[in-house]
Amino acid sequence: MEKDDLYCERNNKQVLKNTKNRTGILKLASDLRTRHAAAQSTIQRLDSEQKRLMNLLAVSDDASEQTKNENGQLQNTIKDLTAKVETAVALARKHAAGGWRPTLTEHLTVHSRSLGFMMARPRRMHMMLLCLPSTPRR
């Protein structure tokens, strides 16, 4: 019987050892399931966050593109306005330069007439005419 007792004792130790191993394995499996569930939850949360960030990026890209388009339009408007101002300034200079000629011509004509008129008048009248204001410019 000793052999049987020894065998039973060894068998009991083995069963106990196996039971401890099973318990450990079950605990490990339970822990792994918990970790897996937590990881899945984290993955879902991160996927949602990624989608949100991708939407924000798309909106930001659209806003950036719109800003670039508006910037280009404003630059074109500035170029157009600059060209119009330069044209207006050139026309104003041309008009001003052209406006001086008739005024100067009229002034010289009036002056030469007054000189002829002055030569016929006495000296005193000549001095009075020199004090008269010149013709206004146009």
Rounded mean pLDDT of 84-92? 92
For the chain, the structural domain boundaries read 2-130
More confident residue, 90 or 106: 90
Tokens of 35: 């970790």
pLDDT at residue number 64: 97
Instruction: State residue 133 phi and psi, 5-degree precision.
Output: -70, 150
Q: How far is CA 138 from CA 102, 109, 119, in A?
A: 9, 16, 29
Q: What are 26's two structure tokens?
A: 């079950």
Whole-structure pTM value:
0.45
Render pLDDT for 32-87 as a digit per residue (tens, 0 to 9): 999 999 999 999 999 999 999 999 999 999 999 999 999 999 999 999 999 999 99
Q: SS3 for 132?
A: coil
pLDDT for res 86? 94
* Mean pLDDT of the residues in the chain: 79
In the chain, what percentage of residues exceed pLDDT 70? Answer: 66
Q: Which of 5-14, 19-28, 80-89, 114-123 has the lowest mean pLDDT?
A: 114-123
